[in-house]
Amino acid sequence: MKPLAPEKVSLKAAINLKLALFLHAFRSALLLTGMLALVGLLMKFTHLAGEQVVFGLAMSLLALLFLLQTGLSFVFVFSHPKMAFLGAFSSLAVALSCMTLVFVYENWWGTHLMVILTSPLLLISSGFLLNYFLSGEHRHTTHRKFLYINILSPYLFIALLWLAFLIRHEVRERRTQRVAGQTGLGENGTHFYLSEYCEKAQTFNLAGSFFSGIRRRPDSGPKQTAKPIYDAIATTA
């Protein structure tokens, strides 16, 4: 085999170096955006202000990055064609999954349609990815990094978000049933998420009863002011 000329070798090395630097910067962008999405998820669990904006913006940026990765995967089309097509198909499935999760978490109109459209694509790409792993093909270091970081890690991230949604939904359902039982609503009654307001209502009732006891009636003397206070505390307890 005839060796390459020094000019061609240097040009190939420069292209590989620039490609490696670009992939590193792209992975850093994915990591930072994923961390922002986790912050938005934490804000959703703690009901902080702005949680819809942070989570929706982070997931939209992730969807955009994975759409860009769909085209970026074809840089391996000559060195590893199977990796290129697997990366493009998987990135498209993950991008659609990110947008579907925004619809699911925010409970927007069209959520069921997004789930129906995305689920087959995600399952098929998962099957292709599993088949690729079972084939045991030799992979270059760059290929392994792209496979584990850019393809496999997003699938785990999507699975984590789905698991968090199921846990959050289960917690809210139990809270709704508990509040419905305390307020006398039947199983077929309207579901309200009132748990965070119950403690506030109890606090306001206690405070109102306390101050109404302190307020003295015109026809009562100083010795009668303590009795309504004790009655209010006993009634609230």
pLDDT-based confidence at residue 212 (cuts at 50, 70, 90): low
Closest CA to 91 of 57, 50, 129, 38: 129
Structurally, how many domains does the chain consist of?
2
Better-predicted residue by pLDDT, 136 or 93: 93
112: in domain: yes
Are 178 and 199 within one domain? no
Are 49 and 166 within one domain? yes
Are 155 and 54 within one domain? yes
Overall average pLDDT of the 116-123 stretch = 92
Are 152 and 106 within one domain? yes
pLDDT beyond 70 at 219: no
- Alpha-carbon torsion angle 133, 135, 138, 140, nearest 10: -30
Overall average pLDDT of the 105-125 stretch = 92
Q: Cα–Cα distance between 101 and 93 in angstroms, integer?
A: 12
Are 52 and 153 within one domain? yes
Q: Is the pTM of this model over 0.85?
A: no
36: in domain: yes
Check residue 50 and report its DSSP letter: T
176: in domain: yes
Domain closes at, from 183, 208, 225: 183
Mean pLDDT of the chain: 78
Give the per-residue pLDDT at 217: 46
Per-residue model confidence as pLDDT tens digits over 130-175: 888 887 665 677 788 888 899 999 999 999 999 999 998 888 888 8
Per-residue model confidence as pLDDT tens digits over 173-209: 888 888 877 765 544 444 444 444 444 445 445 445 5
The one-letter amino acid at 100: T
Q: Which domain holds residue 61?
A: 6-183
Are 113 and 174 within one domain? yes
Are 201 and 106 within one domain? no
Distances (CA, A) of 225 to 36, 62, 120, 228, 236: 56, 63, 71, 6, 18
Are 94 and 164 within one domain? yes
Q: Cα–Cα distance between 109 and 169 in angstroms, integer?
A: 18
208: in domain: yes
Are 176 and 200 within one domain? no
Q: Cα–Cα distance between 92 and 122 in angstroms, integer?
A: 9
189: in domain: no
188: in domain: no
Are 118 and 156 within one domain? yes
Are 221 and 107 within one domain? no
Asked whether the beta carbons of 94 and 128 are under 8 A apart, the reply is no
Are 115 and 219 within one domain? no
Contacts 24+ apart (CB under 8 A), 132-136: 132/82, 132/86
Residue 235, burial from CB neighbour count under 10 angstroms (0-12, 13-18, 19+): exposed
Return the residue matching tokens 């769909």: 70
